[in-house]
Amino acid sequence: MFAIFYHLLIVSHIMFFNLRHNYPETNQKRINMIIIADAHIDESRGNESAFFQMLDTIEETDQDVVFLGDIFELWIALTRYEKEFHKNFLAWCETQKRRRTVGFIEGNHEYFVAAQRKNSFSWCTERAGWPDANGLLFCHGDQINRRDQNYLRFRKIAKNQICQTVVRFLPFGPSIAKLLVFLFKRTNLEFRKRLPRKSIASFAETSFEDGIHTIFVGHFHRNYQYRESESKALYIVPGWLEAEQITLYDKESGRVSSCHWRELQHLPL
């Protein structure tokens, strides 16, 4: 069965999204923003409770929120694969988008969210990035390193319509999905451990040429900046998984900072 599933994936094909062109647009009106990346929520990690406590705290603010992907260790946005915490997260987003902008970028641990659940968010995309109308660009970051060809090929296969149809009806699908994630974690370890600084710089420079001035990237689970000038910068934000950190952005001043989510209760937001 596994061989059949893998064959069906390989024969499917989708054109890879160009990082530079054809971005959708959205208007961002609020001054401050909360950015959350790489929480990897999973029952086995025991981090579900803290994550939803954070969402309760965010409700007490009036900030926009952007989720930069890999919010869950695995999220296949088809009914038979979704767990209670996926449903609770969607319910929270559906409620909060009436009060604030709630954006969501699919990470490499999420599948078909934009195709199946986009109405739960103010905006949601599976593409490489989402720019707003004011020169901001939000990316998960998994497509920045163009040398990681094994992953880029896997992504083309795993996130297309044919794969979505196969996965929807696949016997023992949830069990097979867990196995694939387990195996994928053990591939391309060289690329996963190193920060691809040259690829990041190239991506940033290309985006700046296209009129972007501030880029937020997840995926790499660390703080890092690439700055062309005082007014143009790319920020890799810390992963929530390691220390439950979030990133705050003040549009008026351009200030970017990170803190533990519990500090939201003490900040003048």
Residue 171 falls inside a structural domain? no
Residue 202 falls inside a structural domain? yes
Residue 180 falls inside a structural domain? no
Q: CA–CA separation, 139 vs 155, rounded Å? A: 15
End-to-end CA distance of the chain: 53
Type of residue numbered 139: C
What CATH number should be reported for the domain holding residue 229?
3.60.21.50
**DSSP sequence for 118-141:** GGGSSEEE-SSEEE-TTSEEEE--
Q: What is the pLDDT of residue 79?
A: 92
| Residue 50: its H or E element | helix 48-59
Residue 185 falls inside a structural domain? no
Residue 194 falls inside a structural domain? yes
User: Two tokens at 167?
Assistant: 């996965």
Give the pLDDT confidence of 209-220 residue by residue, as tens digits: 999 999 999 999
Centre a 10 Å sphere on the Cβ of residue 213 and count the other Cβ atoms it contains: 16
Domain housing 97: 31-149+190-266
Q: What is the pLDDT of residue 170?
A: 85
**CA geometry: angle 91, 125, 10, nearest 5 deg:** 110
Sheet holding 102-105, edge to edge: 123-125, 102-105, 64-67, 32-36, 245-250, 255-260
Q: What is the mean pLDDT of the chain?
A: 86
Q: CA–CA separation, 167 vs 174, rounded Å? A: 9
Q: What is the pLDDT of residue 165?
A: 87
| pLDDT surpasses 90 at 5 | no
Residue 256 falls inside a structural domain? yes
| pLDDT surpasses 90 at 51 | yes
pLDDT bucket at 192, cuts 50 / 70 / 90: low
Give the pLDDT confidence of 74-117 residue by residue, as tens digits: 999 999 999 999 999 999 999 999 999 999 999 999 999 999 99
Residue 220 falls inside a structural domain? yes
| pLDDT surpasses 80 at 226 | yes
Residue 176 falls inside a structural domain? no
Backbone angles phi and psi of 245, in degrees to 5: -90, 145
Q: CA–CA separation, 112 vs 91, rounded Å? A: 17
Q: Give the total number of structural domains in the chain.
A: 1
